[in-house]
Structure 1
Amino acid sequence: MENPLLLFPQLNISASKDKSYHKVMKSMVKEEPHQASKSGAKQKRNRLSLLLQKPEFHEGDQLGKPGNLTKAASVSPEEAVKWGESFEKLLSEKAGLDAFTKFLKTEFSEENIEFWIACEAYKKCKTTHELLPKARKIYETFIQKDAPKEVNLDFQTKELTSQNIDQPLITAFDEAQNRVYRLMEQDSYPRFLRSEPYLNLVRGKNPSRPTLRRRSRSFTVNDFQGVRPDLTLW
């Protein structure tokens, strides 16, 4: 009996080769896009790694624009300690005033310091014709009932101030300003001196610049930065 393989030698060999060829090609077609996607992902990871290693990419940049830690006005522990000597001393220095304003904002009572500042600006008017419009603006903003930034004043002080607005003098807000000043001095100021941001200033906590690994508190007045008294009207 003849060997059956010899009857169709070309057919058997060709079929075997065709099947093998198609299997190999199919495998290569599936493998190429997979390898390409892996290569692309690897390149993206490498680019991201290089970006993160650049020295100019650091947390401080995100804190900038305003209030960048590296640009904050420095306050020495000695200066911060002087703020604790008296409320008057605190308000007499710009950094101290800014710090106290930020603190009052955390207590939702910043209208007190803004009113005090507005009164200080009012008393610097050089001509009498400036007094009336500024007096009305201060009264409508801080004194009258349901004013947008109404300060806490007793009825008598409000009535006296209201009467002074008709023909305002340089002393029109003196009584109201003194009452708000004493309120801040006796109530808010002691809490400010016990607050963590102020105590950090006194302790001299001052990292030169932040890092990605750790967010540190600064002994610069940056702790209180980003908030200023609303002086645009005065």
Structure 2
Amino acid sequence: MENPLLLSPQLNASSRMKLLYKSMKPFSKDGAKTEAKNGAQEKKNRLSLLLKKSELHPNPTHLDAFEKLTNASSMSPEEIKKWGESFDKLISQEAGMDAFTRFLKSEFSEENIEFWVACENYKKIKDPVQLSLKAKEIYKMFIEKDAPKEVNLDFNTKECASQSISHPALNSFDAAQTKIYTLMEQDSYPRFLKSSLYSDLLNNRPLGYSALRRRSRSFTINEFKDAQPDFAIWL
């Protein structure tokens, strides 16, 4: 089909625009208008819903957003700042342990700190019978293959723990505990110090505040940067 504009070079600008508009319209005029308007309304509804969700759930990875940690709320920023001096200082305080545990939960790796705490409690047991029961419980929960909360240990460390189960001692899990401590210290701890959770505690802000600001800016830019004008909604 030949372009009608080429066949009518004598038309003025206004007439040419009208002719171009008609040539671009779909054959089903009413159907095209309805579809375009429905599509535009659907886009508006979807964006409105996303905006509401971002306001109500500023950071879904953090449970109890906008709440202060119970133990940390009574601590000064100076005391919380000391958590950044060493991993040992962080987990030696109940408030620090609580905050770090919550951070690990946001990363789905809380089994590491739970295993470390279990080993600490295990070493305090004095009754041989209870020691044996607890050793088996820790092994089945954290160490054996496909355990409910299996921690990341190498084969040799797992074998040492497995062999000591038959005759458990207070140091049966020392090697495994040291491995997990080092893993948290070198991997999770640096991320904790850079996290919004620690930043909010350090600055005495409600949890989720920093994440809300980041998500708000990100949403505003990312949701609309690719938006294209839909002239069909004005037809």
TM-score category of the 2 structures, normalised to the smaller one: 0.5 to 0.7
Given residue 155 of structure 2, which amino acid in structure 1 is its aligned partner?
Answer: F
Per the alignment, in what secondary structure is the counterpart of residue 119 of structure 2?
helix
Q: Note the C-alpha offset of 1:72.
A: 3.2
Asked if 1:156 corresponds to 2:156, the answer is: yes
Q: Which runs of 5 or more structure 2 residues have no equivalent in the other structure?
A: 1-63, 211-235
Given residue 106 of structure 1, which amino acid in structure 2 is its aligned partner?
Answer: S
Given residue 150 of structure 1, which amino acid in structure 2 is its aligned partner?
Answer: E
The equivalent of 1:126 in structure 2 is: 126
Per the alignment, in what secondary structure is the counterpart of residue 165 of structure 2?
helix
Q: Note the C-alpha offset of 1:71.
A: 9.0
Distance 1:117 1:178 in 2: 12
Aligned 1:56-205 pairs, distance under 5 A: 69=67, 72-73=70-71, 74=73, 75-205=75-205
Q: Note the C-alpha offset of 1:205.
A: 2.8
Per the alignment, in what secondary structure is the counterpart of residue 139 of structure 1?
helix
Distance 1:216 1:159 in 2: 42
Distance 1:86 1:71 in 2: 20
Distance 1:71 1:187 in 2: 23
Q: Count how many residue pairs are aligned between Structure 1 and Structure 2.
A: 145
% identity of equivalent residues: 59
8 Å contact kept, 2:152–2:180: yes
Distance 2:86 2:193 in 1: 10
The equivalent of 1:48 in structure 2 is: none
Q: Which runs of 5 or more structure 1 residues have no equivalent in the other structure?
A: 1-65, 207-214, 219-234
Per the alignment, in what secondary structure is the counterpart of residue 125 of structure 1?
coil
Larger Rg: 1
Give me the TM-score of the superposition, normalised by structure 2. Answer: 0.57
- Closer, same or farther in 2 for the Cα pair 1:106/1:72, shift >3 Å? same
What value does the CA root-mean-square deviation take over the aligned residues? 2.3
Q: Note the C-alpha offset of 1:129.
A: 1.9
Task: Give structure 1 regions of 4+ aligned residues with deviation exceeding 6 angstroms.
Answer: none
Q: Deviations over 1:67-119 (max 9, x none)?
A: 99589342321111011111011111011001000100111110000000000
The equivalent of 1:35 in structure 2 is: none
Q: Note the C-alpha offset of 1:203.
A: 2.3
Q: Note the C-alpha offset of 1:216.
A: 7.7
- Closer, same or farther in 2 for the Cα pair 1:130/1:216, shift >3 Å? closer
Distance 1:89 1:143 in 2: 27
Per the alignment, in what secondary structure is the counterpart of residue 176 of structure 2?
helix
Given residue 181 of structure 1, which amino acid in structure 2 is its aligned partner?
Answer: Y
Q: Deviations over 1:169-213 (max 9, x none)?
A: 00000000000000000000000000011012222336xxxxxxx
1 or 2 for the larger relative contact order (CA 8 Å, sep ≥6)? 1
Given residue 166 of structure 1, which amino acid in structure 2 is its aligned partner?
Answer: S
Per the alignment, in what secondary structure is the counterpart of residue 136 of structure 1?
helix
Distance 1:162 1:71 in 2: 37
Give me the TM-score of the superposition, normalised by structure 1. Answer: 0.58
Aligned 1:5-44 pairs, distance under 5 A: none
8 Å contact kept, 2:66–2:208: no
Distance 1:152 1:70 in 2: 31
Q: Note the C-alpha offset of 1:217.
A: 4.0
Distance 2:132 2:69 in 1: 40
Given residue 147 of structure 1, which amino acid in structure 2 is its aligned partner?
Answer: A
